[in-house]
Amino acid sequence: MIRKKLFAALTGTFLLSNSFAQQVQHVIIVTIDGFRPDFYLQSSWQTPNLKRLMKQGVYAMGVNSVLPSVTYPSHTTIVTGVQPAEHGVYYNGRYDATGNKSNEIYWNDTSIHVPTLWSTLHQQGKKVASLIWPVSADAPVDYNIPDIGNMGEDVRNTFSKPAGFIDEVKKNVFNDTAAIDWGRDPNVARIAAYIIAKDKPTLMTIHLLSVDHAEHTQGRSGPMVEECIASADSAVGIIQEALVKNGIADNTLLIVTGDHGFKNVTTTVKPNVWLAKAGLQNNIKKGDWKARFFSSGGADFLYIKDRNDAATTKQVNDLLKALPDSVTKYFEIIDRKQLDAIGGNPEVAFVLSGKNGAAFSNTATGEAIEAGKGGTHGYFPNSKEIQTGFIAYGAGVKNNGTVINEMNLRDIAPLVAHVLGISFPSAKGKIPASILAK
């Protein structure tokens, strides 16, 4: 009964606050990792907060990701408005030509080569906050708990802002807990609510993790996926409640979006096995190689040691095309022209994108085709399954359930800059037509 009353109160308050065209003073961007449009478009998913927002705001039928359609490049596009070729974050984990380093992620803000919404607002003296956002360590923000992958809590504590902030929220938000479970989305939302109450930042970027983990484990559907998207939905509700309680709901734009969709995996493809057998990859760690594929889930990126070595590029291309149909059905070749058109990694010769349930592995030993399971992403972003979602509600946008047929992740930053009234000329995206409030 209490939850129903709270739901009704939030609904009434938000409808009232959005009945007037308000100047936008705050923007909250919430990303749900692995967020798919069907989570709010289909009645089977338990997402009452998301469905209410879509009916009262604007929403997209699908949002095109980047290549690879993975977390770190996608999130960097959201805060920059440009594709990976410009912002410089090409994968989650960095490519290392020597093969001597592994699991080094793009985690520091200095990896980003263009202005961000964070930096632009911070230079203007605005309050900015970020929670578990990829590539955000040392970002120019006032409150920060960065996503640092698996580097450990000591690293997260060191790069959090202000100094001692994690200890502060452990005490004030979680009753002196010894550790915070960052994979539980309501925990992140409660920290966001704490920051909203404390300082009402102009911009807050919030990354929720749990849905992605569930989809990697079970694929696009399953009880774990159902539980995690419901948890993410409840986290959005916590943030909404904080906006109402702290009196800023009527001048806040709340955006809920994601980074990529998901595909089910039934097959694992290991193209480096073919390169090794062709004598193109003898000993990477000793530098004895000519060509190497670097996997990013549903896409595999071909590096040529000598980038001017057109003969080796042709050799690999010919090798792939000579494979039997029973193998080539698992991938398509994305050539350099296609990569340039989508703003893909400028350092690679071409890319393989998985098809028919295939994902990729870096391994150069064993069988080239093996069974796979679970789900993944990273694919060339030209399918509905790999699209992510977008909902915007509150000040600055229409409040009548306006539908955006299709948009791009790079379109979010220009929208945020526009409603906040800041100049952000480096962004290349475009605000979706007819969604702005008059």
**Per-residue confidence (pLDDT) for residue 195, from 0 to 100:** 98
| Radius of gyration, CA atoms only, the chain | 22
In the predicted structure, residue 22 carries a pLDDT above the cut 80: no
* pLDDT band at residue 98 under the 50/70/90 scheme: confident
In the predicted structure, residue 19 carries a pLDDT above the cut 90: no
**Per-residue confidence (pLDDT) for residue 128, from 0 to 100:** 98
**Residue 283 to residues 286, 303, 349, 364, 368: CA-CA distances in angstroms?**
5, 15, 20, 11, 18
> What crossing angle do the helices spanning 2-17 and 223-245 adopt, rounded to 10°?
60
Contact 244, 357 (CB under 8 A): no
In the predicted structure, residue 9 carries a pLDDT above the cut 80: no
**Per-residue confidence (pLDDT) for residue 283, from 0 to 100:** 86
Residues 379-427 have pLDDT tens digits of 999 999 999 999 999 999 999 999 999 999 999 999 999 999 999 999 9
Task: Indicate the class that CATH gives domain 2-262+387-420.
Answer: alpha beta
**Per-residue confidence (pLDDT) for residue 429, from 0 to 100:** 97
Residues 218-256 have pLDDT tens digits of 999 999 999 999 999 999 999 999 999 999 999 999 999
Residues 252-266 have pLDDT tens digits of 999 999 999 999 999
Which sequence spans correspond to the domains of the chain?
2-262+387-420, 266-372
Are 2-262+387-420 and 266-372 equal in CATH topology? Answer: no
CATH 2.40.70 fits 266-372, yes or no: no
Q: 12-21, 251-260, 365-374, 427-436: which has the minimum mean pLDDT?
A: 12-21
Residues 144-195 have pLDDT tens digits of 999 998 888 999 999 999 999 999 999 999 999 999 999 999 999 999 999 9
In the predicted structure, residue 5 carries a pLDDT above the cut 90: no
**Per-residue confidence (pLDDT) for residue 274, from 0 to 100:** 98
* pLDDT band at residue 6 under the 50/70/90 scheme: very low
**Per-residue confidence (pLDDT) for residue 99, from 0 to 100:** 72
* pLDDT band at residue 2 under the 50/70/90 scheme: very low
* pLDDT band at residue 63 under the 50/70/90 scheme: very high
To the nearest whole number, what is the mean pLDDT of the chain? 94
Segment 23-37 mean pLDDT: 97
The answer, yes or no, to whether the previous bond of 68 is cis (omega within 30 of 0) is: yes
Segment 45-73 mean pLDDT: 98
Residues 196-209 have pLDDT tens digits of 999 999 999 999 99
**Residue 438 to residues 202, 395, 415: CA-CA distances in angstroms?**
21, 11, 14
* pLDDT band at residue 286 under the 50/70/90 scheme: confident
| CA gap 388, 261 in Å, rounded | 5
In the predicted structure, residue 20 carries a pLDDT above the cut 60: no
**Per-residue confidence (pLDDT) for residue 172, from 0 to 100:** 97
State the number of CA atoms in the 13 A half-sphere of 127 facing the CB: 13
Residues 352-371 have pLDDT tens digits of 999 999 999 999 999 999 99
Q: What is the pTM of this model?
A: 0.94
> What crossing angle do the helices spanning 223-245 and 185-199 adopt, rounded to 10°?
10
Count of other CB atoms within 10 angstroms of residue 429: 21
What secondary structure does DSSP assign to 239-269, as a single string?
Answer: HHHHHHHTT-GGGEEEEEE-S---EE--EEE
First-to-last alpha carbon distance for the chain, in angstroms, is 37
